[in-house]
Chains A and B, each alone.
Chain A
Amino acid sequence: QKEVEQNSGPLSVPEGAIASLNCTYSDRGSQSFFWYRQYSGKSPELIMSIYSNGDKEDGRFTAQLNKASQYVSLLIRDSQPSDSATYLCAVNSNYQLIWGAGTKLIIKP
């Protein structure tokens, strides 16, 4: 069964520091990778998508993909209290989107 794994956390990071979120997946054939953010009591919203090995930067967010090692990560620079949320990793596998259970991130002022 295809799986996406994330550390459930909570991951506590001081304000202004770099938050690093990791995700591993089992299907080597996966081509599309997504990070969604979900605030408590709200719906998930897309932050980043990545399709090629390497880094992709968007503002304070950087997604990193390593297909050989089957992991994808999300870095948040200059973490803000408003970044406190659950971050969901999703991997496209054979036209299905497989979701991780999410990592709860807490940014401490």
Chain B
Amino acid sequence: DTAVSQTPKYLVTQMGNDKSIKCEQNLGHDTMYWYKQDSKKFLKIMFSYNNKELIINETVPNRFSPKSPDKAHLNLHINSLELGDSAVYFCASSQELHRTGNTIYFGEGSWLTVV
């Protein structure tokens, strides 16, 4: 069983469209994250959710909105897609929010290409 699963794995879409990426974890973790990794491989956190409460929201455009129906799911919705949104998006989870000894488990990534 995959610990952190996200879908779709590949997504090609046109500018201006709205898309969602779904994520589920079966590890029983309290915290889930969305990361963006650009072409330079730099991993940047976008959102953290702890017990369904938004903990960290970095300087991410409000076109991006996380939605968590329960602590096992954290979906990412993107409105009005732009070319610069093309990247790999990783969902992840951990037992607690970045505490000592906290391992982060990543999903396999969703490759988003905006054309």
Cβ-defined partner of A46 (8 Å) among B42, B56, B103 = B103
Known A-B contacts A42-B108, A43-B90, A43-B106; the reply to A49 vs B101 at CB < 8 A is yes
Chain B nearest CB from A99 CB (Å) reads 4
Contact residues of B: prevailing secondary structure? loop
| Binary B-proximity of A83-109 (CB < 8 A = 1, otherwise 0) | 000101000100111010110000000
Contact A99 B43 (CB under 8 A): yes
Chain A nearest CB from B45 CB (Å) reads 7
Cβ-defined partner of B97 (8 Å) among A38, A46, A86, A95 = A95
28 A-B pairs with CB atoms under 8 Å apart are A31-B100, A32-B100, A32-B102, A38-B41, A42-B108, A43-B90, A43-B108, A44-B90, A44-B104, A44-B106, A46-B103, A49-B103, A86-B41, A92-B98, A92-B99, A92-B100, A92-B102, A95-B97, A95-B99, A96-B56, A97-B104, A99-B43, A99-B44, A101-B40, A101-B41, A101-B42, A102-B41, A102-B43
Count residues on chain B whose CB falls below 8 Å from chain A CBs: 20
Contact A51 B98 (CB under 8 A): no
A45 interface residue, CB < 8 Å from B?
yes
Known A-B contacts A42-B108, A43-B109; the reply to A97 vs B98 at CB < 8 A is yes
Residues of B near any A CB (own CB < 8 A) = 40-45, 56, 90, 97-104, 106-109
Q: Which 6 A-B pairs have the closest CB atoms?
A: A43-B106, A99-B43, A101-B42, A95-B98, A32-B100, A97-B98
| Contact residues on A (Cβ < 8 Å of other chain), bracket | 10 to 19
Q: Which residue of chain A lies nearest to B111 when distances are taken between CB atoms in the complex?
A: A41
Chain A residues with CB under 8 Å of B44's CB are 99
Chain A residues with CB under 8 Å of B42's CB are 99, 101-102
> Quick one: which of B56, B102, B107 has the most chain A CB within 10 A?
B102
Taken together as a complex, chains A and B put the C-alpha atoms of A102 and B41 apart, in Å, by 7
Contact A51 B100 (CB under 8 A): yes
> Quick one: which of A43, A51, A99 has the most chain B CB within 10 A?
A43
Chain B residues with CB under 8 Å of A42's CB are 108-109
